Amino acid sequence: VQLQASGGGLVQAGGSLRLSCAASGRTFRSYTVGWFRQAPGKEREFVAAIRWNDRATSYSESVKGRFTISRDNLQNTVTLQMNSLKPEDTAVYYCAASQGVIISNMNNPTAYRYWGQGTLVTVSS
C-alpha cells in the first residue's frame, strides 16, 4: 500500500487546514488509518486515527475538540480537519495505515505497517 499525504501549508494561528491521505494499490477497507506528526527536534507523536470498517476513532488529548478525522468511501481517502490551529501544531504530518490495529493500540506508531511521505504544516503566531 502506498500512501500519499497532502494538504499541508502555512496558516495563521486560529486558522484551519485539511489534510488528506490517499491510498494507491488497494482500498482502505479493513484498515486503520492514523495521523502522526513530528516537530523539529521532537519524537513522532500520535494525532488521530480511524478504523475504516466501523469508524472507531481515537485522538490525542492535545488535538481533541479541534481536529476531526473522517473517511471518504468514494475517494478512498482519510481526512484530518484541523481547526483552531496553534503554533505548537507545527510539524510534518504523516499518515499511516495497517490492518488489525486494536483500538487501544491506535496511538502506537509501531502498530502501523505503511507510511506516507509526510506533509508540512506551519502555524504562525
Average model confidence (pLDDT) for the chain? 95
| pLDDT (0 to 100) of residue 27 | 86
Are the C-beta atoms of residues 61 and 46 closer than 8 Å to each other?
no
Q: Distance between CA 86 and CA 1 in Å, rounded?
A: 32
pLDDT of residue 26: 81
| pLDDT score of 73 | 85
Q: How many other CB atoms are found less than 10 A from the CB of residue 20?
A: 16
Coil/strand/helix, residue 109: helix
Q: Using CA atoms, how far apart are residues 21 and 6, in angstroms rounded to an integer?
A: 7
5-55 pLDDT, tens digit per residue, is 999 999 999 999 999 999 987 888 889 999 999 999 999 999 999 999 899
Report the alpha-carbon distance of residue 88 to residue 116 in Å, rounded.
22
Distance CA 65, CA 110 (A): 25
